[in-house]
Amino acid sequence: MKETHAVYSPGTKVARAIGWIFLTALAVMIIFPVLYIIFGSFKSNSELLVGGSNIFPTVWSVNNYIQAWQQANFAVYTKNSLILALGVMILSLVTSTMAGYVFSRTKFRGSALLYGVFIAFMFINTGSVSIRPLYELAVKLHMNNNLFSVIFISTGTGQATYIFLAKGFVDSLPKELDEAAKIDGCTFFQTFYKVIAPLLKPVIATIALLSFRQGWNEYVLPLVFTMSNDAMRPLTVGVNMLKNAGDGTAAWNIMFAGATIAIVPMILVYIFFQRYFMGGVAAGAVKG
Amino acid sequence: MKKRRKANTAFRHTGAFWLFVLPSLGLFALFFLLPLVLSIWFSFTDFDGWKKMNFIGLQNYAKILTDSSFYLSLGRTFIYTIVNLPFKVAIPLLLAALVTSKKLKGNTAVRTMIYIPVLFSSLVAGITINWMFSQEYGLVNFLLEKMGMTPLEWSLNPTLATVVISIASNWVSAGYYMLLYVGGINNISKELYEAASIDGSGKAHTFFHITVPLLLPTTFIVLLLSTVNLLKEYALIQGITLGGPGTSTTYIVQYIFSQGFDQYKYGYASAAGVLVSIVFIIIAAIQFKMTKGGGEV
């Protein structure tokens, strides 16, 4: 909705005000639970169990964090989550920008077909069907007891979206760039990493954020793959185990702290990338 | 001259193509296609996860097609998907209109905040939503009581549990689809809006007669993505209701998982997975065909 300089009648003004109130309420409803959890993690369990709509704690305390840290191996979980998220991110960035580039630039029958297969599978990936075979496969490859298997599998199953975004973005870059580079004597690979890659910044930021999120939030895969090995668990699996912490009643305070530990790094990464990110998703999806 | 260069480099290009595609193709083949083929193979066996694995032909498929709980889960999934689809389109569209408005100060900050739930793992979303809708100390019941209403048993009533899942699902996806719409709105030419306002078109009129129709391609993408995601809803339910109360929020992926991981009927679960994948492919293909006229995906 673009601003205009037209003069509005009082009726339009009222209608507009109602619209804004409604939309703002919707936005507040979306963001409120997030703040409630983050601030709630500084409340005591008894204060949490009183309920109510007070968002800020009456007494601020970091006890929940200390307790959560002691009850679960958070230092290790955090390290594992970082390895997992960064691993998926780096691997996805490499594979998807390379593939996206050639899917956009090289046109022959095989390339279109392969691209179609990638995208088609992106839509139907139900995940559930292949977890068990994946585990069998990892055992066969002797990869079932390290996080690399989870990184490879996560990238292999999630990359179609990123290829889709990367291809869409490269499509919007003029072909003359490639031709000029070639005339200047660049090889195919040099053209990619000297000329194209630097221009991919927005879509790289987008893919980086989305794939970091994917790795950071991966739950079912690491759950199955780290079943017997506590030292390999990421935060998602660790936080879920907090559900059983405490004395039978739900220890909401500890879970809130665990949840906050799991979301704050993600939010920071998001804020770091978001300047590029917002445009990247939209451009890739709409022009793709 | 252009033609000759093309011919010269044709082979080099194809070679480079495969070289560039190799990393993703390798991962795709090894960790996606191979397991898929394996699970198709499992679907013809009585694999129990350990030792037993005999070829039993189409027995699993025959059993599934006479299993009423399979049809019930599938039907439940369809209802859940159809009921939620309008919200998956309308809420992000309205939010996008809000955050692209120049009238609203700090709309970038609002956009940033609305996207935050999208970042959450299903687990964190689950903890949050479970807390909001908790029977005794949840915020929603607290507000209901404040307004003089009786608090509701969100987790015990099948319909209410479905409502909670639906709210959660929209909560974690609205920000993402909103971004797609923001991209679409930014692509609409400003002259159109100027022309509309010169013609005396009001805000609402402009929104419904210019913005919404021109966003049709984006809407198609949102519809396609959210249909598939709703049909596959799993992790979120694991974080909130675990499929309960009873089986009232047990959707099809949940059903497959419980057949495999809880009841150790991997052969049977694989067969169900294959069948469901085929159904999903058909739905996605129909949707894709129907919407291709307007949208370029």
Chain B from 154 to 173: CB within 8 A of any A CB: 171
A31 has a pLDDT exceeding 60: yes
Q: Where are the alpha helices (DSSP H) in chain A?
A: 10-40, 45-50, 63-71, 74-105, 109-124, 131-140, 147-171, 176-183, 188-190, 201-217, 220-225, 235-241, 252-287
- Nearest CA to A122 out of B281, B138, B286 is that of B281
User: Which residue among A111, A213, A252 places its CB closest to the CB of B131?
Assistant: A252
Interchain proximity B20–A192, CB inside 8 Å: yes
- CA atoms of A104 and A119, how far apart (whole Å): 14
Which of B21, B107, B296 to probe by mutation at the A interface, max A CB count within 10 Å?
A: B21
Q: How would residue B104 be classed by pLDDT, with cut points 50, 70 and 90?
A: low
What is the pLDDT, as a whole number, of residue B57?
A: 83
Using a CB–CB cutoff of 8 Å, tell me whether B263 touches chain A: no
B241 has a pLDDT exceeding 90: no
Mean pLDDT of B18-32: 89
Interchain proximity B21–A34, CB inside 8 Å: no
Q: What is the mean pLDDT of chain B?
A: 84
Interchain proximity B284–A124, CB inside 8 Å: yes
Q: Give residue B29's identity as a one-letter amino acid code.
A: A
Which of A44, A113, A129 to probe by mutation at the B interface, max B CB count within 10 Å?
A: A129
Most confident of A71-75, A271-275, B178-182: B178-182
What is the pLDDT, as a whole number, of residue A248?
A: 53
Interchain proximity A34–B94, CB inside 8 Å: no
Interchain proximity B182–A240, CB inside 8 Å: no
What is the pLDDT, as a whole number, of residue A32?
A: 87
Which of B24, B42, B115, B221 to probe by mutation at the A interface, max A CB count within 10 Å?
A: B24
What is the pLDDT, as a whole number, of residue B11?
A: 54
A280 has a pLDDT exceeding 70: no
- Nearest CA to B74 out of B232, B263, B269, B291 is that of B232
Specify whether the CB–CB gap between A36 and A54 falls below 8 A. Answer: no
Q: How would residue B171 be classed by pLDDT, with cut points 50, 70 and 90?
A: very high
What is the pLDDT, as a whole number, of residue B285?
A: 83
The total domain count for chain A is 1
Q: What is the pLDDT of residues B198-209, one digit of tens each?
A: 887 777 788 888
Contacts of A28 in chain B (CB under 8 A): none
- The whole-angstrom distance between A171's CA and the closest CA on chain B is 13
Q: Where are the alpha helices (DSSP H) in B100-157?
A: 107-115, 122-132, 139-146
- CA atoms of A149 and A97, how far apart (whole Å): 22
Pull the structure tokens for residue A124: 């139907």
B222 has a pLDDT exceeding 80: yes
- Whether A50 maps to a domain, the answer reads no
Pull the structure tokens for residue A88: 């998926």
- Nearest CA to B94 out of B4, B8, B222 is that of B222
Which of A1, A122, A176 to probe by mutation at the B interface, max B CB count within 10 Å?
A: A1
Contacts of B124 in chain A (CB under 8 A): 37, 239, 259, 262-263
Q: Is B161 exposed, middle or buried (0-12, 13-18, 19+ CB in 10 A)?
A: buried
- Nearest CA to B129 out of B282, B237, B35 is that of B237
Enumerate the domain spans of chain B: 2-28+50-292
Q: What is the mean pLDDT of chain A?
A: 80
Identify the CATH number of the domain in which residue A84 sits.
Answer: 1.10.3720.10
Specify whether the CB–CB gap between A124 and B281 falls below 8 A. Answer: yes
Q: Which residue in A has a C-alpha nearest to residue B134's C-alpha?
A: A51
Q: Which residue has the higher pLDDT, A143 or B153?
A: B153
Q: What is the pLDDT of residues A202-215, one digit of tens each?
A: 888 889 988 999 99
- CA atoms of A216 and A152, how far apart (whole Å): 14
Q: Give residue B34's identity as a one-letter amino acid code.
A: L
A57 has a pLDDT exceeding 70: yes
Q: What is the pLDDT of residues B54-95, one digit of tens each?
A: 888 888 999 999 999 999 999 999 999 999 999 999 999 988
The domain made up of B2-28+50-292 has a fold known as MetI-like fold (1.10.3720)
User: Which residue among B14, B110, B121 places its CB closest to the CB of A262?
Assistant: B121
- CA atoms of B279 and B253, how far apart (whole Å): 13
Interchain proximity B117–A23, CB inside 8 Å: no
Interchain proximity B98–A101, CB inside 8 Å: no
A2 has a pLDDT exceeding 60: no
Percent of chain B with pLDDT strictly greater than 70: 92
User: Which residue among B16, B117, B270 places its CB closest to the CB of A188?
Assistant: B16
Q: Is A31 helix (H, G, I), strand (E, B) or coil?
A: helix
Q: What is the pLDDT of residues A14-27, one digit of tens each?
A: 766 777 787 778 77
Chain A from 59 to 88: CB within 8 A of any B CB: none
- CA atoms of B49 and A224, how far apart (whole Å): 13
User: Which residue among B142, B235, B273 places its CB closest to the CB of A129?
Assistant: B273
Q: Is A137 helix (H, G, I), strand (E, B) or coil?
A: helix
Contacts of B186 in chain A (CB under 8 A): 282
What is the pLDDT, as a whole number, of residue B296?
A: 46
User: Which residue among B24, B123, B184 places its CB closest to the CB of A239?
Assistant: B123
Percent of chain A with pLDDT strictly greater than 70: 85
Q: Which residue in A has a C-alpha nearest to residue B264's C-alpha?
A: A132
Q: How would residue B294 be classed by pLDDT, with cut points 50, 70 and 90?
A: very low
What is the pLDDT, as a whole number, of residue A88?
A: 96
- Whether A143 maps to a domain, the answer reads yes
Q: What is the pLDDT of residues B122-143, one digit of tens each?
A: 888 888 898 889 887 788 888 8
- Whether A140 maps to a domain, the answer reads yes
Most confident of A36-45, B12-21, B34-43, B170-179: B170-179
Other residues' Cβ atoms within 10 Å of the Cβ of residue B236: 23
- Whether A277 maps to a domain, the answer reads yes
Interchain proximity A124–B228, CB inside 8 Å: yes
Other residues' Cβ atoms within 10 Å of the Cβ of residue B281: 14
Using a CB–CB cutoff of 8 Å, tell me whether A45 touches chain B: no
pTM of the shown model: 0.84
User: Which residue among A1, A33, A274 places its CB closest to the CB of B112?
Assistant: A274
Specify whether the CB–CB gap between B285 and B61 falls below 8 A. Answer: no
Q: Which residue in B has a C-alpha nearest to residue A135's C-alpha?
A: B35
Interchain proximity B113–A31, CB inside 8 Å: yes
- Whether A240 maps to a domain, the answer reads yes
What is the pLDDT, as a whole number, of residue B185?
A: 87
- The whole-angstrom distance between A252's CA and the closest CA on chain B is 8
What is the pLDDT, as a whole number, of residue A275?
A: 74
Q: What is the pLDDT of residues A85-143, one digit of tens each?
A: 999 999 999 999 999 999 988 877 888 888 888 877 766 666 656 777 888 788 888 77
